[in-house]
Structures are given as structure tokens and as C-alpha cells.
Amino acid sequence: MTLTDLEPTTHTIQLTLKPGQHDGDGHRVAAAAARHLGLATGRVRTAARYTVRYGALSTEQLRAFATRCLADPVLHDVTLNEAVAPVPGFAAYILVARGPGVTDDEGTSAQNALADFLNEPMDTRTQHIFSKRLYLLEHDLPTTDLRRLAEELLGNKMINRFEVGRVADGIRDYTPRPGGGAEAITETISLNGLSDGALVQLSKDNIYALNLEEMRAVRDYYASAETQATRRAQGLPADPTDCELEIIAQTWSEHCKHKEFSAVINYRDLATGEEKQIDSLFKTYIKDATSEVDRQLRANGNDWLIKVFSDNAGAVRINADSLFVWKVETHNSPSAIDPYGGAITGILGNNRDPLATGIGGARLLFNTNVLCFGNPAYDGPLLTGQLHPRRILEGVRKGIEDGGNKSGVPTVNGAIVFDDRYRGKPLVYCGTGAVMPMQFAGLDSWEKKIDAGDRIVMAGGRVGKDGIHGATFSSIELDESAPATAVQIGSPITQKLAMDFLLIAARRGLLKCSTDNGAGGLSSSVGELAGISGGAVVELEKVPLKYPGLRPWEIFVSESQERFTLVVEPARLAELLALGQEMEVELTDIGHFTNDGSLDVNFDGQPVARLALAFLHDGVPRKTLEAEYEKLAATEPKIPGLRDYTGTLRQLLGALNICSRESVIRQYDHEVKGRTIVKPLMGATGQAPQDAAVVRFNFESWEGVAVSNGILPRYGDLDAYQMSAGSFDEAVRQIIAVGGKLPNLTPGDNIFWSVNDNFCVPDSVYDPAINPDGKQKLAKLVQMCEALRDATAAYCIPLTSGKDSMKNDFKADGVKISVPPTVLYSMTAKMEDVRRAITSDFKEAGDVIYLLGETYDELGGSEFYALHGELGAQVPRVRFAEAKALYTLIGQANDGALIQSCHDLSDGGLAVALAEATFGYGCGASVELPETALPLATQLFSESHSRFVATVAPADVLAFEALMGGRATRLGVVTDDGQLTVRYAGQTVIGAPTTALRHTWSNGPVNQLLGVDELAGFGESTGH
């Protein structure tokens, strides 16, 4: 324990690059400082520092460790315990350390290396080695500039500590002293007789995020004669303990309880006068809709829907032996204040959902992510506490890179949506698919069974103050006073070890079931599991801590990452603990389940909380909310005489929401596990964008899964229903494009589909003072849900899990930035044979090009209008019956192997899709648009749904046209001249080399901002 290290000797090791070695990091810091901050640093040299605080180490041991373990003999020079000597030619310095208690994986790895080196038993679980980074700058920048560099480029003041100054004045070091600083005491808080105002203030002061009605319910529960009598009988104080109120707050948080999706909503349409009452959005539009889909599926012999809405992730059956498990979640609030930490904990946290579904131990197959940001080139003012969109983008991207890559889970696709309304709170959606055997050691893998007497085992990381109040914090608007403890840094290596362990433990039959520790920490995970057996007892003093000094309630609600709660039969405990020791995963038996109806929490034998489960889980008062819809006037703009359609196409290809994301995509490993068949970018060029990913399940069969994402927030400005319907359709048609088939078309076809809905909306609770348009926002949410219900019914595609995030507003300095109402549909569908997948790129000259589906006068909300600064009125509508008929025909065409390429039409319409389809090989295309009632610009740029550009080999044209009938419009042929030519009414309206179009698309603003451009300086001497 750290307690024994009262004042250990401190050693500091510093590694610097040998003269002549390229300092890439330093080079990039100099370039980024100039580019993003306008600061001229001159040359920058970097060094790694490690402060070692182990008791009984000699300087000789440390020196040997530094030179033989830490330093690379080719790259590094080592100094030990020396004041940092001024390096000639460098005037200023910045030291970046971590704050107390912030995850330091590098330090921990050094501890492991030291233990291996010395072959002595050492404490490697608490922090004794602290890693830091030192930057030496050539120019003598003033302190304010150095601080800016530190805070805006090198670190984040929420998690880092900085020392800056002149080298000549001596370099100051900083080493954190982790410790919670609190005594392990439990206090009571009296609610008795508190006024409404005092109740609300108490909730605010303690970040309970409970409203007045909820606070009253808590007060009344404690004041009731029954509670009082029970508490007296059990020797408990009359007033609630701090721990009890925290447990209630976490359990009742919007994040955990979805109170607004469960509320009674009074809806009024001001135009039609229609009024209705909705008894829970979740029940009405999601749960009941899925039940109806399941009924239809089962009636047709399709019984693959195994688990919906009742566990950490939904599960569907792949075949007789295995299940597909699928979950998508958001991690918005943490990503707003610490983008890297927010995103990495988002992805790792979402990974834990499929890992801990049912018994637990699913094998992760892939990640996907959808990100919504403000324009990274935003040059307006920033509010207090608001980070620049570029920093958010870069931090989130890096978090997803490390979260996915270091876990060995491929990031197979995703999307980035830009809209300046996301500059306050970004949206970070993380999705994970996994495969689980139908049975583990003879038990159904998806079941969660718990009996009284089963042990509660915490597995994985330790508990610290990080992440306290994450669940309640994400349930309120974000403002400038966001608590530092809400930020956490993930540790992918800790989770990878725990994941490897879970896989083996489940397969050996050692687990009864498991769940993850996410929002609300142990309080939520144990609290929820206790609902299965009917009670639990937790001995909090047994929970291993990162450092001492936490209050009992802090231990119980901390959201410290990489932890699972395992349910273990007593007879299996010894074997499980031994396996944990062998695989170096810390396991701690912290209590047991009961069936007495209460959640008991003790510390050192003293009760710190005792709550009736009935009250905890069902005592939250139901909300009643008001929704009022007023249709806003919208008109179609007059776009002045368009002549240069080629120029318009180029503008679109270079537009922020259409241009290539290659620089982001390539930093994610999209093919670890060796099973990715359709990757985000394909073709001989590796630059043809694809519609959906396709991943095979294993190396023994060709079965696989297609993965897609549908999100269209800007349409919501015109019509929330059509925005939601369109997003659903977009995800469906992407899967159809890669060769997927709709479910339930034939009896027992066993083609599973599994959808996650993720609603991210601004505060939609009406308040005359702070949220005057709350009723309209809620009405939009209702419409989005109605579209969801209609879409699932139309396609017979079930939802299996989902999430809602209800407070996506950022408030500071008296200003509120709210996200547009947004919904993401993340879809997966079984592919019977991944070898039959279709990619988007044109394959061969002579192939005939078709438009599948129909174009309407629907330019409203289009990228084309956005180029002209217009929104328009006629938003694309989904015609479900026509869409379903078309998708069915395309499935039949694919059965006959008639389609050579297929690309869905979305942002930028037909013109952009045609151009993108040429990017894979540099093919050309010669296209003649029909002379219809639709104007040319509408034909080219309308974003009408349920359409594709497809190609067919000449030999298959007759069969294809016979099958498709009027649903396919022949547009032209693929050519080998490398030109995209579009003619209309006898004139060439678009003509450009496809390589030039690809160049425009590839050099759009995203790759310009994030692309590899530092290479020019490589090889330059770095000062010696």
C-alpha cells in the first residue's frame, strides 16, 4: 500500500534524443504552434521525464533501470537526478505533467518494467512512477504565450499540470501527490422540513441533478412513518446518509433512468389543433414498435430476435451456434471538456457493454463511430470553458484511435458531420459489435441469472476520484463550472487485460453473469444486478483504491474506468480468483447478493447506506412534459442562373460535409482481426468511399455482417419527422447498397437486422425563463420518434438497443449553444456470404450505369442549397412502400449477381455519387440525363432518399432491366477515358477528368487540416 511510503526517495530519469536523431514530436509542436496559435517557437526539443517514488531503490539500481529498460540505446541519452541542464540555443521550456490521480499508463508500464527488471515483488497497482514531457523552445516566448501553448496545444488544464518559464531561471518540475484528502466518514443530510427552494439548492450544490418533485419524493420517503420505523429497527439514522442520496441521484439520473423518454407528454399541433397524450416515448414508439416487428418476424418463422432493451446490449441470433451483440452509445459531455479522455472512455465504455451482456465474455468484432463537430475552421469567439472545434475534433479523433487500436478492435466505418451548433457540445457516438457463443459451459450465454448468496466481484481497474458524478453531470446542461472530477482518462491496456480475462472466464464456466461499471459506478452496476436477485450487500472497504482519501460514497459512485462487476457462485470463486492472478487482472470480492429487497452498503462493518430496492428503482416520480408544434414558414430560394455545373460539383466535392475523411480514417486500424471485407475506402486507389462496412465473423465460414450509420441533422430544421425517417432509410439503403437484404421477405430466411437508435437533443423541457422554445423542441422529438416507429414497421427491422441524451446544450457567459435535434440509426444486418458484397466503385469500361429509384423536387436542406447559404423548403421525404419494393428488387438482382457496383445517393445527390464512383480506379463515365419535368439542377443535386447509382455488365443488362422495370433509369456507360461527362438536352453540362475531381475531394478541408503535411521538414538538422 502507498501508506507505507511515507517519504520515499524521489529519483528523476530524463531521456533525451541523441544528437542527430529526428525529433518528430518537437517538429510537429513547432509547426502546430505556428499554424494554429500564430506563435513562432523556433526549434523545439522534447524529452521524456520519469519521477520514481519507490522507497528502497538505490541510485545504481535506478541508473541500470534507466539505461537498460527505459532508454533505447540507438535513440536516447540518459540523465539521472540532475537538474535539467540548459541546452544551448533553447530559451524557454514547458513541462507537461498529469494532475493528481490522472491515469498514467506510461508510468504504470514503467513500474511493470521495473518489477520485471528487479525480479522483486513490488506494488505496481498504485502510482509510484510519474511520466512527464518536457519541451524546450528556441525562442524566448513570454509566459502568457507559453501557457497558451501548454493549455491549447500540449495538454488540457482539466487533466494536466504545467510548468513554464525561462530556461535561464531554472526548470521547475512538478510531480503529483495523489490522494483524495478525505476521511472515510459518512454524514447524514437532513431533508426534513426543507423548503422547496432549499431542496433545489441542495440538489444543485451536490450535483444530484434531481428536480424539485424528485427531491420532494426523496424527502417524503424518509419522512414516512414506515421508513422511519424500518430505519429505527435497523439502527440507521433517521436522516438520509450522503451515500444514500448519492445512490438515489445516480439511479434516478436522466442518464440512467431516461425519465424524459418515459414521461407523459401532452402534444399539441398548433396548425391542425390536433392534441394527443403520449404515454412514454420509449414505450409507445420504441418498445411497442419492436414487439410488433418481433411478432411479424416470428409469424414468418424468423425467431432470431433474442434480447432487446433489457441488457447492456441487444442480441440477435447469427446461426445455431452464435449470437451477434450490438450497442451504440454517446459520450458527449466528457468530450466537450476533455475531448481525448471523453472519446477514449466513450469507446472503451461502449466496448464493455457487449463484453458484459448476459453472462459476459463476447468477442468484440468491430467498432464504428459517428462524430458531430463545429466547423474546425471556426473563427468566432469562444465562451468560457469552451474548447475550439478543431481541438475537440483532434482530441476525439485521437481518443478513438487509441481506444480502438490499442484494444485490437477494428474501426470499420463511421461518419463526421459538421454544423456550428455542435461547437458547444460535440456528439460522440461509439458503436461496438461482438459475437458470443449461444452457450457457455452449457448455459445460455445471453441470460443474466443471480441467486442470493452469489458473490459480487469487482474486476479490472481501481477506484479513484475520477469520474465522480459522470451520470448526473451528463444529465444537466454543460456550463463553465464543469467539475474536474467528471473527467477521466481511459486505460486501454487495463481494459484489454480484463477483456482477455473475461473471455476465458466465461468459457470455463466461472461466471454466472457480469455487467460493466459505467455511469454511476458500483452504485448503478450493483444496484441494477441486485434487482435480479432481490438485494445485495457491499463491503466498501474491500474496494481497492488508486490512492487513499476517498469518502465511502465516493467509492460507491466513482466511475473510474475499465471495471466490471462479476457475479460468481461461491464454489467457483477460488478458481476465478486464481485465473485473475495468472492473467494479472485485479479481482476483489466485495460482497454478495441477497433477496431481502434492499441494497446494503457497509464500510468497515458500519452501515453507510440501506435502501429499499422498490423505492430506488420505482420511486422516481413520473414527469409530465408539454410539446407544441408550430410549423415554421419555409420557402424555396431562387438560385440565380446556374451555368457552371462542373464548378458546382467541384464545390460540393470540396464541401466540409462531403469531402474525404481519409486523414482521419487511416489513423484508425480498420482491419485488425483480418476479417474486414468492405473497408471505409476501397479500390485500386484506396480512395473510393463505401456505403457500409462488411465484416466476416470468422475464418471458417463466409457469413458476416454489414454495418451502417444514418444521420441527417440539417433536414431537422425543416421537418423533424422526415429527418428521422430519412436517417433510418439512409442506414437501410447503405446496407442494401453493399449487398444486404431486407429481413423477413421469405419464411425462415434468418437474415437478422439489429438497430440502435441514439437520440441527442437539446434541452426539451419547457421553461419560460431558461428554455422558452422547449415545447417546440419536444414536439420535434415526438415527431422523430413517430418516424422511427413507422420506419421499423415499414421495413420490419427491429430496434435492439439504444440511448437518449437529452441535455446537449453548452451554457456560459449568458449564452447557450444547443445542438440541433439529432438522431443516429446504427444498423447491422447479416450477410450470408461476404464474397457477394458489392462495392461502390465502377469496375470496368462498358458497364452500364443506372439510377435506381426516383428523384423528386426535394432540394430542401441539401448541400447544394447550403453552398448558396439557403435552406429551402422541400425536404426529402421517405416513401416507405416504394423504397421497400426497390430494396427487394435489388436483393433479387444481387441473388442473380447482376450488379457490379452500387453506391447510395446522399449528400450532394446524383452528381456527387457519380463522381465518387469513379474514385476507385480512375474510370470515366459518360452519362445522359433524361429530359423530364425536373430541372437539371434538381436531377443533379436533389437528395431524394432511397436511390442508388449502380452498374451492370453488358451481358446482364437484359436480365437486369427485365427485373427492375421502371425502377431503374439507364444513365450511360463506364468509360476508360478518365472523364466524367454528363449531358442534358444535347449539351455537355459536366465535364471533368475524374482524377481532378478526386483531387478536389481528397484535398478538401478535413484532409487539409489533418493531413500529413509535416513531412517536408523531415530530415532537417535539429540543432546539433
Partner 1 sequence: MAQDSQKLVHKVQLPAQDGAVRALVLTGFGINCEEEIAAAYRLAGAQATIVHLNQVLHGAVSIHDFDVLTFPGGFSFGDDLGSGVVLANKLRYRQTGPGGRTLLDDLKQFVADGKFVLGICNGFQVLVKLGLLPNLGGDVTPEVTLTHNASGRYEDRWVRLRVNPLSKTPFLKGLDVLEVPVRHGEGRLVVPDAATRGALEAAGLNCLSYIDAAGDGTSEYPHNPNGADLNCAGLTDPTGQVFGLMPHPEAFLSAFNHPDWARRRRQNPGAPEEGEGLQIFRNIVEHIAQKHSVLAS
Catalytic site residues?
255, 331
Assess 583 for contact with partner 1 (CB under 8 A).
Answer: yes
**What DSSP line would sit under 59-114, residue for residue?**
HHHHHHHIIIIIS-TTTEEEEES---PPPTT--EEEEEEEPTT---HHHHHHHHHH
| Shortest reach from residue 684's CB to partner 1, in Å | 5
Q: Which of 47, 70, 489, 761 binds partner 1 (CB under 8 A)?
A: 70
Distance separating alpha carbons of residues 488 and 559, to the nearest angstrom: 8
**Which residue is it, cell 496559435?**
37
Strands (E), 453-552: 455-460, 478-479, 513-516, 536-539
| Shortest reach from residue 914's CB to partner 1, in Å | 18
Site for partner 1 in 838-867 (CB under 8 A): 838-839, 841, 843-844
* 358, 512, 560, 616 from 450: Cα distances, Å: 11, 7, 25, 19
Assess 935 for contact with partner 1 (CB under 8 A).
Answer: no
**Residue 918 grid cell:** 469513379
**Residue 862 grid cell:** 441539401
Rg (CA), the chain: 29
**Residue 182 grid cell:** 478525505
Assess 117 for contact with partner 1 (CB under 8 A).
Answer: yes
Site for partner 1 in 482-501 (CB under 8 A): 491-493, 496-497, 500
The smaller minimum CB distance to partner 1, of residues 121 and 442, is found at: 121
Nearest Cα neighbor of 165 from 135, 131, 142, 132 is: 142
The smaller minimum CB distance to partner 1, of residues 201 and 581, is found at: 581
Site for partner 1 in 33-62 (CB under 8 A): none
Nearest Cα neighbor of 69 from 102, 104, 118, 22 is: 118
The smaller minimum CB distance to partner 1, of residues 490 and 619, is found at: 490
| Shortest reach from residue 608's CB to partner 1, in Å | 33
Is 560 assigned a ligand-binding role in the annotation? yes
Assess 147 for contact with partner 1 (CB under 8 A).
Answer: no
Assess 674 for contact with partner 1 (CB under 8 A).
Answer: yes
Burial class (CB in 10 A: 0-12, 13-18, 19+), 935: middle
Helices (H) and strands (E) in the chain, counts: 31, 42
**624-629 and 264-269: which strand pairing?**
parallel
Q: Which of 38, 73, 381, 986 binds partner 1 (CB under 8 A)?
A: 73
Burial class (CB in 10 A: 0-12, 13-18, 19+), 274: exposed
Q: Which of 420, 636, 961, 1014 binds partner 1 (CB under 8 A)?
A: 1014
Site for partner 1 in 688-727 (CB under 8 A): 696, 699
Assess 116 for contact with partner 1 (CB under 8 A).
Answer: yes
Q: Which of 686, 891, 935, 1005 binds partner 1 (CB under 8 A)?
A: 686
- Identify which range of 286-294, 582-590, 597-605, 606-614 contacts partner 1 by CB under 8 A: 582-590
Q: Which of 5, 8, 24, 174 binds partner 1 (CB under 8 A)?
A: 24
String of b and e for 75-107 (b: at least 16 CB within 10 Å)? ebebbeeeebebbeebbbbbbbbbbbbbbbbbb
Q: Read off φ and ψ for residue 167, nearest 5 degrees.
A: -60, -40
Assess 947 for contact with partner 1 (CB under 8 A).
Answer: no
Assess 74 for contact with partner 1 (CB under 8 A).
Answer: yes
Assess 80 for contact with partner 1 (CB under 8 A).
Answer: no
Site string for partner 1, 785-824 (x = CB under 8 A): ----------------------------------------
Is 353 assigned a ligand-binding role in the annotation? yes
Size of the site for partner 1 (CB under 8 A): 78
Strand order in the sheet with 322-330: 305-307, 314-317, 322-330, 427-437, 363-373, 411-418
The smaller minimum CB distance to partner 1, of residues 60 and 699, is found at: 699
The residues with which 323 forms a beta bridge, in sequence order, are: 317, 436
Is 714 assigned a ligand-binding role in the annotation? no
Assess 581 for contact with partner 1 (CB under 8 A).
Answer: yes
Site for partner 1 in 268-297 (CB under 8 A): none
Is 157 assigned a ligand-binding role in the annotation? no
Site for partner 1 in 883-902 (CB under 8 A): 900-901
Assess 1012 for contact with partner 1 (CB under 8 A).
Answer: yes
The residues with which 589 forms a beta bridge, in sequence order, are: 457
Distance separating alpha carbons of residues 456 and 593, to the nearest angstrom: 7
Site for partner 1 in 822-841 (CB under 8 A): 834-835, 837-839, 841
- Identify which range of 229-237, 709-717, 934-942, 1012-1020 contacts partner 1 by CB under 8 A: 1012-1020
Distance separating alpha carbons of residues 838 and 740, to the nearest angstrom: 9
CB atoms within 10 A of CB 190: 13
Is 690 assigned a ligand-binding role in the annotation? no
Q: Which of 182, 441, 578, 959 binds partner 1 (CB under 8 A)?
A: 578
Is 559 assigned a ligand-binding role in the annotation? yes
**Residue 1008 grid cell:** 487539409
The smaller minimum CB distance to partner 1, of residues 311 and 401, is found at: 401
**Which residue is it, cell 540505446?**
73
What CA dihedral angle connects 218, 221, 223 and 229, to 10 degrees? -140
Is 802 assigned a ligand-binding role in the annotation? yes
Site string for partner 1, 641-670 (x = CB under 8 A): -------------------------xxxxx
CA angle, residues 152, 154, 156, in degrees to nearest 5? 60
Is 481 assigned a ligand-binding role in the annotation? no
| Shortest reach from residue 331's CB to partner 1, in Å | 20
| Shortest reach from residue 670's CB to partner 1, in Å | 6
Distance separating alpha carbons of residues 765 and 271, to the nearest angstrom: 21
| Shortest reach from residue 728's CB to partner 1, in Å | 27
Site string for partner 1, 376-415 (x = CB under 8 A): -------------------------x---xxxx-------
Is 977 assigned a ligand-binding role in the annotation? no
Q: Which residues are annotated as a binding site for ATP?
A: 327, 757, 802
Q: Which residues are annotated as a binding site?
A: 327, 329, 352-353, 488, 516, 559-561, 757, 802, 805
Q: Which residues are annotated as a binding site for Mg(2+)?
A: 329, 353, 516
Q: Which residues are annotated as a binding site for substrate?
A: 352, 488, 559-561, 805
